[in-house]
A and B are shown apart, each in its own frame.
Chain A
């Protein structure tokens, strides 16, 4: 590899280019933080500076929490994304196990159906979903927010692919020990699938935490908003140019996923990369 070692000049060029790019990528995050700390007249200025000259962080953050129920949005986000994830796993793991390890008539048809499901973007069944939910009076509810995502065909597909790599002997041994198929799914297969489930879990949480389209359609009262929709509610309270509280609110909304990402980068990138396969 000695022949491939870059020269000092090349290395400097590499850093210059990447650093410039990284600055552009990070600029909105830095700017958001900077504005969230400033007083109004320090925001409404023609001068470019990053470190606030006139601090007003406490007012901004308090105002953000006063204008809209930010904590409630975060709570909604946690409740809805967690419920979705638990249900997706509860539905997908047994099906994935059956598709990977059991022989039964119709398994090919079911798997084709799963593959067909992979082709459909979430926006496509939205109108019928809306109609179904309005018929049963579940618009503007947690159940309504969760319903379209209860099944993840991608989850079934992904976990099945993983189960294919688990040796059959493991299953046979469990059967010889007298374990039921149900027991095999949850006590043998589930623990082996933790890496696959972690990646899937991160993908699922990010997608639903960040989702705007579906909450926009069915949420009608301010306290039922998910984080993304809540940001828009906060933005709508802001008629003038007092951006401090708005930016403070945006910091609060984006912080959970961004911090989580910084803490668990590798897992996070694996999980999000799955959204490429989907």
Chain B
């Protein structure tokens, strides 16, 4: 900050003495210094440190650490829990992403199709995005209660019987996925609404002049092709977000029953902070990062090409 102040000192003689470009650069360094230092110290170096740690056997509190090469990664391959955790995470993503994207699109289309109650619907579907997920998870837990839960009362009334949603190994992960969809749908809806708004009206009119009268033919000839970029964007965002599932698992199932809901971040949390195996936890983080990175790189490419919000 002092640099900036000195470099930017007002007064003609000052500017005349130094070249303007040099003054500008000096001011710039002053302005970016705090951000650069924090960026390196808080983000870049710790990320590098995570990667480095993943090649060591370090445990929290241990006095020494040994370079173990790729041993942690080798151990991960043979680790039953980790394999389960990776499979579950992918399963979870493959349930949440299609459901939340399709439902988000359907809701957005339905909202745009008419004029009545638009603001109410938008708010109702978006509300879960803003509410504290952990707090709402405890509400879901009560709603899913085996005997007095709201959902079981409804299921029972409909003749579908009661289920122990969070304790049944076959149902636990799909149940968490349903909560995930509930939470994410609204964001997807809003992103699709933004996409729909950007479609020029005359395109629809042109299509109906060309004989696309029905709603469906207008959808297939105009709306869907024009939504292509939004759809891809929403798909990738939902994938990244659902890859980071942690809160509901940590509160509702703790990875159980019998590891049926063990997911990557939860395994990382347990290994790193439950069992204090920092090196091993770091290796899981790196695997997690690799998946997210692949998805994000795809997203950044897309974000650079289009998508403007303001």
Contacts and interface: CB of A to CB of B under 8 A. Distances in A.
Q: Say what secondary structure dominates the interface of chain B.
A: helix
Contacts of B265: 123, 213
Interface string A168-189: 0000000000111111110000
Nearest to B147: A46
B107 A21 contact: yes
A231 interface: yes
A73 to B, nearest CB: 11
Given A31-B150, A124-B288, A270 B142 contact: no
Interface stretch (A51-59, A78-86, A87-95): A87-95
A124 B132 CA distance: 22
B28 A102 contact: yes
Interface string A117-146: 111110111111111101000000000000
B187 interface: yes
Interface stretch (B42-50, B70-78, B80-88, B92-100): B42-50
A126 to B, nearest CB: 8
Contacts of B310: 195-196
Interface string A141-162: 0000001101101001000000
Q: How large is the interface on A (under 10, 10 to 19, 20 to 34, 35 or more residues)?
A: 35 or more
Interface residues of B, number: 113
Contacts of B117: 15, 18
A273 B4 contact: no
A61 interface: no
A250 B136 CA distance: 8
A107 interface: yes
Nearest to A253: B135
Given A114-B39, A121-B244, A247 B142 contact: yes
A28 B133 CA distance: 11
A14 B131 contact: no
B43 A183 contact: no
Given A128-B50, A250-B135, A254-B132, A24 B297 contact: no
Contacts of A32: 136, 139
A45 B156 CA distance: 14
Given A123-B244, A241-B148, A243-B142, A231 B132 contact: yes
Contacts, number: 316
B123 interface: yes
B191 to A, nearest CB: 5
Contacts of B16: none
A239 interface: no
A48 B154 contact: yes
With a 10 A CB-CB cut-off, give which of B44, B103, B119 has the most chain A CB atoms. B44
Contacts of A179: 8, 10
B114 interface: yes
Contact of B136 (A18, A28, A229, A243): A28
Given A31-B139, A107-B28, A126-B285, 17 more contacts: A1-B205, A11-B114, A29-B127, A44-B148, A103-B28, A125-B50, A127-B285, A131-B60, A150-B42, A153-B43, A178-B10, A182-B8, A210-B134, A227-B132, A241-B148, A265-B119, A273-B190
Interface of A: 1, 3-4, 6, 10-11, 14-15, 17-18, 21-22, 24-29, 31-32, 35, 43-48, 90-92, 94-95, 97-99, 102-105, 107, 110, 113-121, 123-132, 134, 147-148, 150-151, 153, 156, 178-185, 195-196, 206, 209-210, 212-213, 216-217, 227-229, 231-232, 235, 241, 243, 246-247, 250, 253-254, 257-258, 261-262, 265, 268-270, 272-277
